[in-house]
Amino acid sequence: MEGAARTGFDPGQLLNEHVDQLGDRWARGIDPTSTLDLYSAGLRRRVLPALGHLPVSMMTTGLIDRAIDQWEAAYGRSTVKNTIAALVLVLDEAVRDGLLIRNPAKDRARRRCVGRSDLPKTVSLRVPEISRCQT
C-alpha cells in the first residue's frame, strides 16, 4: 500500500493495463522509421497475449524464459529479438514506475542463440553451378 501511495501505481496492475497506461512512453528513443512498427507488433502479437494477463509485479526471469522459449519455437530470430526488445522497454518503464525492483527480461535478452535454427548457417555454391548460371 505504501508503494501504491508513493508511486500512484497499483502493485497488482496487469501488464495489459500497464502498457495501456504507458501509451507510447515505452517507445521513447526508438527509431519510428525502422524499428517502432516491429517492436509494437511484437508487443501486441506476442508479449501481451502471453504475459498481459499477469500482474507486472509477478514478472520473473523464469516466467519470461518460458514465454521466450515458446516464441523461439514458433518464430525466427529477428522476430523474437524484436519481441524481447519491446518487453525489455516496457519492463524498464515498470522499474521506473516502482512496480519492479529490477527488469527480469534483461537477463534473457543477452543470450547467445535466439530463434529457430533449422536452416543451415552457411550455404555454399559449387563453382560449376555458378558458372552455369552466368551463361
Short-list 103, 107, 98, CA closest to 10: 98
> Can you tell me whether residue 55 is helix, strand or coil?
strand
Residues 100/82, Cβ–Cβ less than 8 Å:
no
Instruction: Go through the domains of the chain in sequence order and give each one's CATH number.
Output: 2-116 (1.10.150.130)
Residue 95: CB partners within 8 Å, gap ≥ 6? 101, 102, 103
pLDDT of the chain, 135 residues: tens digit per residue: 555 555 566 778 999 999 999 999 999 988 888 899 999 999 999 999 999 999 999 999 999 999 999 999 999 999 999 999 999 999 999 999 889 999 999 876 555 454 444 544 444 444 444 444 444
pLDDT at 12: 87
Total length of the chain: 135
